[in-house]
């Protein structure tokens, strides 16, 4: 990786749209939107609602399925000199395993991120991420079916995130990424109806950053594998906070929607942050929070 900055899954599609705004070759890695075994149409609208310092979404993993991804998106992504991380989700353990098998030997994929934390689908998703037993099982199932580096994306909607992190490491994860969105809800006081068609949705944006930093810090105390810190990162200093808490890399989500150039600004920003402090290696700040 050239640098520790990548998009968070689902906020960058497969790169096409934002390639008009930034040079994708500059990214540390490119995490694509969740791919499932078969196409999903997603949830009924309205699918998003902005709240104070954040947004709720209930997209429902709309995507065209793994075959379409391999045929149409991957050839496009292969032209860039950037590690491609495919994010996958299934309804069942077997679907995660099968997705890993489908990816086997496919050229141009550098890693797999297991989405076991989507709050917006009826089956699978968060169910796997909320139980350490299931989280370990699904990771092991994926591990058994792939030789690629395996990242597991964790949900904050649990009491003890470290326990889940530990479980997925036992299951064979090479890294963890956290946090996915927090389940939230918002109600229209005129109509008495929820603002989202799916009633509840995932909260993202600056509002969740302190929760994310705390969870990254907790997990960093517990597991040895690299952590990708995610949650409301909007600026260089937000990213630095995550690194100090113990993340080795960061992923930018909602902020991409606000400013398509934000990742480039953060990549440059981290570099000048280190330079200003006469630091030559990012490891000089990773996990260096003074507590």
Partner 1 sequence: MFQVNADVIAKEEVIPGVFSLTIVSPVISENAKPGQFVHIACNQGGNFILRRPFSIHRIVPGKAFEILFRVVGRGTEALSRVKVYDILDVIGPLGNGFKYSERITSALLVAGGLGLAPLLYLAEELTNEQVKFYPMLGAQTKTKLLRYIDFKRIGKKTYVATDDGSSGHNGTVADLLNRTIHYIRPEIIYACGPEPMLRKVAQTADEFGVKCQVSLETKMACGVGVCLGCACVTRQGYKMVCKDGPVFDARDIIWDKEEIEPTLLGGYRCETAKVSDPG
> Which of 259, 264, 265, 282: binder of partner 1 (CB under 8 A)?
259
Q: Cβ(110)–Cβ(191) under 8 Å?
A: no
Q: Rounded to an integer, what distance in angstroms lies between the CA atom of residue 79 and that of residue 20? A: 15
Helix intervals (H) in the chain: 66-68, 74-78, 93-103, 126-129, 132-144, 161-171, 209-222, 236-245, 255-258, 262-276
Q: Rounded to an integer, what distance in angstroms lies between the CA atom of residue 132 and that of residue 280? A: 38
Q: Cβ(70)–Cβ(37) under 8 Å?
A: no
100 is catalytic: no
Sole window of 34-42, 68-76, 152-160, 273-281 interacting with partner 1 (rule: CB under 8 A)? 34-42
Q: If DSSP codes are grouped into helix, strand and coil, which group holds residue 289?
A: coil
Chain Cα centroid distance, residue 265: 19
Question: CA angle at residue 138 from 57 to 11, to 5 degrees?
Answer: 25
| Beta carbon nearer to partner 1, 171 or 253 | 253
Task: Assess 43 for contact with partner 1 (CB under 8 A).
Answer: yes
> Which of 132, 166, 236, 256: binder of partner 1 (CB under 8 A)?
256
Task: Assess 279 for contact with partner 1 (CB under 8 A).
Answer: no
| Beta carbon nearer to partner 1, 68 or 163 | 68
Task: Assess 17 for contact with partner 1 (CB under 8 A).
Answer: yes
Task: Assess 123 for contact with partner 1 (CB under 8 A).
Answer: yes
| Beta carbon nearer to partner 1, 23 or 160 | 23
Give me the catalytic one of 22, 114, 118, 267. Answer: 118
Residues that bind partner 1 (CB under 8 A): 10-13, 17-18, 20-21, 36-50, 52-55, 57, 59-60, 62, 91, 120-123, 198, 205-206, 234, 254-261
């Amino acid at each position: 990786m050239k640098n520790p900055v990548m998009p968070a899954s689902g906020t960058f599609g497969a790169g096409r749209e934002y390639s008009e705004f930034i040079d994708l070759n500059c990214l540390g890695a490119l995490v694509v939107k969740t791919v499932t075994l078969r196409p999903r149409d997603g949830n009924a609208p309205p699918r998003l609602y902005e709240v104070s310092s954040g947004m709720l979404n209930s997209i429902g993993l709309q995507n065209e399925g793994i075959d379409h991804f391999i045929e149409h998106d991957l050839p496009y992504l292969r032209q860039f000199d950037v590690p491609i991380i495919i994010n996958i989700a299934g309804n069942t353990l077997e679907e995660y395993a099968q997705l890993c098998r489908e990816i086997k030997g496919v050229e141009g994929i550098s890693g797999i991120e297991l989405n076991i934390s989507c709050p917006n689908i009826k089956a699978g998703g968060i169910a796997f991420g909320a139980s350490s037993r299931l989280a370990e099982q699904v990771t092991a199932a994926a591990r058994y079916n792939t030789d690629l580096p395996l990242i597991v994306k964790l949900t904050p909607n649990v009491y003890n995130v470290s326990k889940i992190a530990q479980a997925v490491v036992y299951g064979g994860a090479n890294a963890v990424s956290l946090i996915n969105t927090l389940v939230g809800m918002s109600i229209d006081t005129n109509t008495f109806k929820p603002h989202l068609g799916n009633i509840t949705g995932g909260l993202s944006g600056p509002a969740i950053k302190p929760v994310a930093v705390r969870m990254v810090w907790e997990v960093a105390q517990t597991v040895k594998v690299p952590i990708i810190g995610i949650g409301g990162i909007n600026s260089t200093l937000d990213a630095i906070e995550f690194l100090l808490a113990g993340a080795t890399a960061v992923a930018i989500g909602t902020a991409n929607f606000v400013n398509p150039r934000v990742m480039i600004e953060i990549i440059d920003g981290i570099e000048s942050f280190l330079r200003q402090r006469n630091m030559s290696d990012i490891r000089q700040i990773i996990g260096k929070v003074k507590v």
